[in-house]
Amino acid sequence: MRIFITGGAGYVGSHCARLLRESGHELCIYDNLSAGHRGAVEASELVVGDLADVKKLHQTMSDFGPEAVMHFAASTAVGESVKEPLLYYRNNVVNTVNLLEVMKSLEVKKLVFSSTCATYGVPPKMPITEDMPTHPLSPYGRTKLIMEQVYADCSRAWGLGFAALRYFNASGASFDVTIGEDHKPETHLIPIVLQVALGQREQVEIFGDDYPTPDGTCIRDYIHVEDLADAHQRALLTLTPGKQIIVNLGTGSGHSVKEVIDVTEKVTGKKINVKMGPRREGDTPSLYADPTNGQKVLGWQAKVTNLEDIIQTAWEWHREHPNGFAE
Ligand code: UDP
């Protein structure tokens, strides 16, 4: 298949692109490199461009002639979205509408979309199933939910087929340690804890230990990035025009912030200095997936289910690439 990938030089996008390339698909990666890295992709596949530049987007897509689009390009930090909501509405909503307009004009009717468990807000119970109410707590979560609704409208109006993949916490690095997580600035828990293990940071601050969870810290479902890539490939092969798929991508197990720190100490053999801090705005106490729908709809389930194995792959990447892609 010929696949157009927005944000394919980013963390999850680059792992998906690699799997698709290895499976023999032809790729065009459209990325403005605001968060992505040249070193994460094949130079011959990369077009440096912005979704706001509709002329370039249209030209690139019509030259390439894709059969499907995978859309990763987005602003993704929950905390930042609370402070800069308009940036999120522009990048994640307006620019995605640009993409849809070009897809419609070129009659591309298959879209795999990076959605998020942040669409749920505070779910009524755990684990989370896809039919639970969606009341996002942050502008970030709202932008992703809005786009899912826009896709459903386009599906009815002109036959768009879409898969909204609601990721839980993407983590880990490629098994061959060639690509991994590199955000600047880094805000995610596992890479921050690993930076402490590497001596690049003095300590990790725990954002709140007064949550209604067994150890008082937030619980998340950490899902390996190679498992996410596998789910994207399956979604692509399952999609047909007009089809609507919404699937949670998680392991089904939740781990607290303190557990992540303890397991990282075990994996790295290093002492992790910890500082207790206040809660972070927009955080939900506990989020973990019911992954049964992914099995039913995509024939998918996470292969890396052990937190220690997930952190081990991340540790190998950070140890071998202490400055990330270092561009
Ligand atoms: N977290 C933390 N300290 C940090 C970064 C994150 O305590 O320096 C907590 C955060 O409050 C959340 C969990 O770790 O409960 C995972 O946060 P992350 O930003 O990695 O992912 P998110 O759940 O926001 O997508």
Residues 36 and 100 placed together within one structural domain of the fold: yes
The pLDDT value recorded for residue 79 is 86
302 lines ligand 1 (CB under 6 A): no
**Mean of the pLDDT values across residues 17-34?**
98
10, pLDDT greater than 90 = yes
Residues 273 and 140 placed together within one structural domain of the fold: no
188 lines ligand 1 (CB under 6 A): yes
CATH of the domain at 193: 3.90.25.10
Residues 33 and 63 placed together within one structural domain of the fold: yes
Specify the pTM.
Answer: 0.97
211 lines ligand 1 (CB under 6 A): no
269, pLDDT greater than 80 = yes
Given 140, 151, 167, 211, which residue is catalytic?
A: 140
Do 166 and 300 form a contact (C-beta atoms < 8 A)? no
% pLDDT > 90, the chain: 95
Kindly give the residue spans of alpha helices, DSSP state H, lying in the chain: 11-22, 54-64, 78-83, 85-88, 95-106, 139-158, 189-197, 225-238, 257-268, 292-298, 307-320
Does 30 qualify as catalytic in the annotation?
no
Do 305 and 251 form a contact (C-beta atoms < 8 A)? yes
Tokens 């909204």 sit at which residue?
Answer: 164
The Cα 96–Cα 211 span in angstroms is 35
Query: Atom 12 (ligand 1): residue with closest C-alpha?
Result: 218
User: Per the domain annotation, does 295 fall within a domain?
Assistant: no
Distance in Å, CA 154 to ligand 1 centroid: 34
Q: Of the candidates 24, 15, 293, 233, which has an alpha carbon nearest to the alpha carbon of residue 110?
A: 233
Band (327; pLDDT cuts 50, 70, 90): low
Range of the structural domain that residue 156 is part of? 2-168+224-249
CATH of the domain at 35: 3.40.50.720
Torsional sign, CA 186, 165, 105, 109:
positive
Residues 260 and 136 placed together within one structural domain of the fold: no
Residues 137 and 280 placed together within one structural domain of the fold: no
State the closest ligand 1 atom to the C-alpha of 169, by its place in the atom list counted from 1: 25
Residues 205 and 162 placed together within one structural domain of the fold: no
For residue 60, give both structure tokens: 């690139």
Do 297 and 247 form a contact (C-beta atoms < 8 A)? yes
**Residue 198: partners with Cβ closer than 8 Å, 6 or more residues away:** 318, 319, 322
- Mutate which of 181, 188, 256 for ligand 1? The one with the most ligand atoms within 8 Å of its CB, which is 188
Query: Atom 4 (ligand 1): residue with closest C-alpha?
Result: 189
Residues 85 and 98 placed together within one structural domain of the fold: yes
Taking only the tens place, the pLDDT of each residue in 275-286 is 999 998 878 899
User: Per the domain annotation, does 161 fall within a domain?
Assistant: yes
Band (6; pLDDT cuts 50, 70, 90): very high
